[in-house]
Chain A
Amino acid sequence: MSNSAVGERLSTIKHVVLVLSGKGGVGKSSCTVQLALSLAHQGHKVGVLDIDLCGPSIPHMLGLSGHSIHQASAGWVPVFADPSKQLGCMSIGFLLPSKDSSVVWRGPKKNAMIKQFLSDVYWGTLDYLLIDTPPGTSDEHLAAVEYLQEWNPDGAVIVTTPQAVALSDVKKEISFCHKVGLPVLGLIENMSGFVCPHCAECTNVFSTGGGEGLAKHMDVRFLGRAPIDPSLVMLLEQDDKTVVPKLAADDEEVRTNSIVETYQHCELSKIFGRISKELDDMLEAK
């Protein structure tokens, strides 16, 4: 199979990073979005490709639900999340007739869609292409790795939550990376504790420290620990992304130009700012 079309698209993209986790609901998409927002804030040009075909979440998180994709002579034009077009996004969510429609597809059809995303989307020049994946180690992952392999993707960021049940699935994902020869760039421990807004007491809703232990055990770089942040949850949920989420009803309304700026008002942006800086340094040094 010739993937030269994929190669052509990737030739103007500096770094390709996959975001993986064996477990669902650990925050792959929210971490992808936060990495993208942080990288964009640091001045990089970023693309987010959502290959979770049965459950695309990226459009909603970036506030792009209901948008559709335009076909230009150069290919499918991504949907941009900010006016300065620093952050573009492509997802099957933009192709569905309604938010209720399910994508009941078996493997071969999913593979074909992913190939199309990789070969037909006109990203232009990008510093980063982040690929958000569904949970598991199956068709979508094999397809993405297969089509990208020839062009040496930079590697994968693994996301986990701290509890033992999640860790065992994440171990499988790391084994998957080893098996297919995809470098593991590092591991993020997400949902590590929740700071009660009433009393500032931190509760480890899904226990804590498990991710760091796993990183040590599997010899993977530990990128950091991110607590549950209600203002982030709200930002990803709300329709208007230019309003800074209010935690108390009497807070003053703050408006920004774009989701990239709004995100800088969340506590978590400091952690992800550091993580994306670390990633960037690591990849630039390569």
Chain B
Amino acid sequence: MSAPQNTPPVGEVPPDANEHCPGPESASAGKAAGCEGCPNQEICSTQAAGPDPDLPLVAERLQNIRHKLLVLSGKGGVGKSTFTSQLAFALATDESTEVGVVDIDICGPSLPKIMGSEREQVHGASGGWQPVYVQDNLALMSIGFMLPDDEAAVIWRGPKKSGMIKQFLKDVDWGTLDYLLFDTPPGTSDEHLAVVQLLRDSGVTGAIIVTTPQEVALQDVRKEIDFCRKAKVPIIGVVENMSGFVCPSCHGESLIFYPSTGGARALCDELGIPLLGSIPLDPRIGQACDQGTSFLDTCASSPAAQAYTKIIESIKSLVG
């Protein structure tokens, strides 16, 4: 028994492939004579052959978008959606900045609720699907807008999820945007591969990685960083969320999610990635998300909001 081999994200010949591998993107992938017995045969033969014919359409649709930012984390529940929403709200406070947000967490879309636009609907127009406008200059697209009620489960396997993500990019009339933010589900699987492949021609500005301080989360985040490197997605930096908690009654600080291995700081030093900042845990952040309001507006003077603002400023200056 050997360690499992990974499928390279984009079009490369896997290291464990057979000698006469035709390449995972060739028309005969998985079907050529040389594919017999290859450990990757099933994957190749179930994937669409050749480069995706829709890629140029996606590139055309996204050509007027300046920055495409991915918000990633290997771990769930670390605050990817919260961070995405606050980043979007903060960028959109400047009325001349056009911001779009795509929620590619197909099985657990949280952004409609967090951004206060639950029960809105997506409309079709001649130019394509119209995203939901949370503000005049802030557009949001999520599968949450297409579900009959919030109990409806999206029980989809990979290919169907990838298909939906493609539609979000190919069929939505995004218009001209300064920023398009992608909120992702946890892990390194179908959704992540889909978005990286779809953005291949139009280019990704970079990824922002969100984590919490404890080693259990950092372990998964290391895997996500490995994914970014394999998929050649530049990493803008790491945000450490839920770092420390200040008791509202006695102002004593506790490290709820204890950084036993030095937290995000040690991880960033080890892997040579910038640490954008640490955001303390504040129960009002969760409340703002439940109510769909901008935490930075409602509690602007809190330490957490100041940490957010600092991080967002440095992201803005890093992407230019």
Contact = CB atoms under 8 A, between A and B. Distances in A.
A252 to B, nearest CB: 20
Contacts of A108: 42-43, 46, 158
B76 to A, nearest CB: 1
A25 to B, nearest CB: 2
Contact of B108 (A24, A92, A107, A113): A24
A173 B158 CA distance: 17
Given A23-B76, A169-B110, A237-B215, A205 B281 contact: yes
B240 to A, nearest CB: 14
Given A25-B76, A54-B188, A165-B110, A138 B247 contact: no
Contact of A138 (B3, B161, B227, B245): B161
Interface stretch (B90-98, B130-138, B167-175, B286-294): B286-294
B243 interface: no
B195 interface: no
B125 interface: no
B258 A135 contact: no
B254 interface: yes
Contact of A134 (B153, B186, B192): B186
A237 B186 contact: no
B157 A230 contact: no
Nearest to B42: A108
- A interface bracket (residues with beta carbon within 8 Å of B): 35 or more
A254 interface: no
Contact of B7 (A104, A169, A198): A104
B189 interface: yes
B230 A230 contact: no
Interface in B150-208: 150-159, 161, 185-190, 192-193
A5 interface: no
Contacts of B260: 234, 237-238
A15 interface: no
Contacts, number: 243
Contacts of B43: 106, 108-109
Interface in B200-225: 212, 214-217, 219-220, 222-225
A218 B113 CA distance: 20
A106 B215 contact: no
B58 interface: no
B254 A168 contact: no
Contacts of B76: 23-26, 55, 134-135
B289 A179 contact: no
Interface stretch (A78-86, A95-103, A264-272, A274-282): A95-103
Interface in B230-250: 230-231, 245, 247-250
B289 A104 contact: no
10 contacts: A55-B74, A99-B222, A104-B231, A135-B186, A165-B81, A168-B150, A172-B153, A196-B250, A206-B286, A207-B290
Interface of A: 22-26, 29, 54-55, 57, 60-61, 69, 71, 76, 92, 95-97, 99-110, 112-113, 134-139, 141-142, 161, 163-166, 168-169, 171-176, 179-180, 194, 196-199, 201, 203-207, 218, 228, 230, 233-234, 236-238
Given A102-B188, A163-B290, 12 more contacts: A23-B108, A24-B186, A26-B76, A102-B224, A104-B9, A107-B158, A138-B155, A172-B153, A194-B254, A197-B254, A233-B258, A238-B260
